[in-house]
């Protein structure tokens, strides 16, 4: 099975254009809709590879890993780090776009964000369930604009952020299963109405030679110590019985143009810190020098679901010969950014899972149900978890 170690590639890069290798995507989205297709496959251990395809056809390849708490090699960011980074980048992007459209001067933009997730129950009894708590977000701004103008800008930013839309309103995501090449119905999850997709092939996934600056777009800032016998220590997340809260922290800043970066740290369980760099698509004023916000967001969801499949297989002592997924995600925009009325809603996430095992179809179905129930991000999207947002303007608290 492939691994991060033997791929020889950076942790993230823009994929070279190869029309023969570009996966089929949904037909071009209507005006006011942004769609992303994410393909994810398992590497060795807890490692995973994703390719996110944008509406434009641009593709970004990323890899994820887990830390000592899941006996991972810790060579790449954990799945929740991708989602946390995407949340921050989505917020900053909408904030910058709104300020530009409304001629609001922003001299400094930073975010401090805390994400919390829960896991409780037994994987062996079949009652393990993931959950989420509201995100805490502190928006730190420097501006000469009137406080009421900033208030309205922040409110519109929350309303128009795609990542915020995923958490703001409860939705029922949909799934399909292909087991050993055969479609299987899965009771207990909402079935996808879209046609079954071909299994992702991951061919022609090589860096774009015209964009050689991929090294450093994702990098490790500090490494977690491997400790045993403590809360959140090595192997702790592989226990069959779970009752714990996860805590992910991120500190993000806006750079030049639409460039952004954030440092994401896993406090609970004990994990490493990774730095992500981001840039917007050209249509939104970016240089496309790094993945856009929603690419990180979408990859995080796919990676997180895949981790649950690998974790469940480990706990059951079952061998998955191979597993992958195709995930479709779309966002619908309405209103005018210049008028301060832009809003976004998210469609249910559509996930097609492909398993290759020597096990029965019934056990394969159980993997899909357990993955949907224990994935932190699918659990978060299944409830209403509006972010708790605070604003600091020129060093003073501003109520929003």
**92's tokens:** 């900053």
Summarize pLDDT for 215-255 with one digit per residue, the tens: 789 999 999 888 877 778 888 888 889 899 999 999 999 99
Summarize pLDDT for 368-394 with one digit per residue, the tens: 999 999 999 999 999 999 999 999 999
CA distance 374 to 308: 7
Calculate the alpha carbon distances from 207 to 79, 275, 279 in Å. Answer: 22, 20, 17
What CATH number belongs to 4-398? 3.30.300.20
* Strand stretches in 43-196, DSSP E: 48-54, 59-64, 108-122, 129-142, 174-179, 182-184, 190-191
pLDDT confidence tier of residue 212, bands split at 50, 70 and 90: low
**350's tokens:** 């559509």
Q: What is the DSSP letter of 281?
A: -
CB within 8 Å of 59: residues ≥ 6 apart: 14, 15, 22, 51, 52, 53
**339's tokens:** 């008028």
Q: Is 264 left (phi over 0), alpha (psi -120 to 50) or beta?
A: beta
* Average pLDDT over the chain, rounded to an integer: 93
CB within 8 Å of 19: residues ≥ 6 apart: none
The closest alpha carbon to 306, from 371, 365, 364, belongs to 371
Q: What's the confidence (pLDDT) of residue 22?
A: 47
The closest alpha carbon to 56, from 294, 332, 304, belongs to 294
**pLDDT, mean of residues 77-93:** 98
Calculate the alpha carbon distances from 390 to 78, 113, 138, 142, 400 in Å. Answer: 27, 10, 5, 14, 7
- pLDDT above 70 coverage of the chain, percent: 96
Q: What are phi and psi of 235, to 5 degrees?
A: 75, -5
**More confident site: 195 or 202:** 202
CB within 8 Å of 143: residues ≥ 6 apart: 104, 105, 106, 107, 108, 150, 393, 394
CB within 8 Å of 76: residues ≥ 6 apart: 4, 11, 47, 63, 64, 65, 218, 274
Q: What are phi and psi of 304, to 5 degrees?
A: -65, -45
Among 174-183, 209-218, 299-308, the least confident range:
209-218
């Amino acid at each position: 099975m492939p691994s991060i170690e033997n791929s020889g590639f950076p942790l993230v890069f823009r994929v070279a254009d190869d029309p023969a290798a570009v996966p089929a995507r949904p037909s071009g989205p209507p005006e006011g809709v942004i769609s992303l297709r994410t393909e994810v496959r398992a590497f060795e251990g807890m490692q995973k590879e994703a390719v996110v395809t944008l509406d434009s056809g641009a593709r970004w390849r990323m890899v994820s890993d887990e830390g000592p708490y899941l006996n991972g090699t810790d060579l790449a960011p954990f799945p929740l780090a991708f989602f946390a980074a995407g949340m921050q980048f989505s917020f900053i992007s909408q904030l910058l776009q709104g300020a530009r459209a409304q001629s609001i001067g922003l001299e400094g933009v930073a975010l401090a964000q805390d994400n919390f997730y829960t896991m409780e129950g037994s994987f062996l009894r079949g009652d393990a369930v993931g959950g989420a708590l509201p995100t805490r977000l502190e928006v730190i701004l420097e501006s000469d604009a009137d406080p009421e103008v900033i208030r309205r800008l922040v409110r519109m930013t929350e309303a128009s952020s795609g990542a915020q839309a995923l958490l703001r309103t409860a939705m029922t995501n949909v799934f399909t299963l292909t087991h050993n090449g055969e479609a299987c119905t899965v009771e207990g999850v909402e079935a996808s109405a879209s046609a079954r997709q071909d299994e992702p092939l991951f061919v022609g996934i090589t860096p774009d030679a015209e964009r050689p600056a991929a090294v450093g777009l994702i990098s490790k800032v500090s490494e977690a110590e491997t400790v045993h016998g403590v809360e959140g220590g090595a192997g702790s997340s592989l226990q069959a019985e779970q009752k714990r809260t996860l805590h992910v922290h991120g500190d993000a800043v806006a750079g030049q143009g639409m460039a952004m970066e954030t440092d994401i740290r896993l406090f609970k369980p004990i994990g490493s810190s990774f730095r992500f760099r981001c840039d917007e698509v050209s249509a939104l004023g970016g240089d496309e020098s790094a993945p856009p916000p929603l690419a990180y967001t979408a990859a995080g969801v796919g990676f997180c679901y895949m981790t649950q499949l690998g974790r469940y297989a480990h706990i059951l002592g079952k061998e998955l010969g191979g597993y992958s997924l195709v995930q479709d995600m779309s966002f619908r925009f309405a209103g005018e950014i210049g008028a301060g009325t832009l809003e976004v809603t998210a469609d249910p996430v559509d996930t097609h899972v492909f398993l290759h095992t020597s096990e029965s179809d019934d056990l394969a179905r159980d993997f899909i149900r357990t993955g949907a129930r224990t994935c932190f991000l699918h659990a978060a999207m299944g409830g209403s978890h509006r972010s708790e947002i605070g604003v600091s303007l020129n060093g003073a608290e501003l109520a929003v």
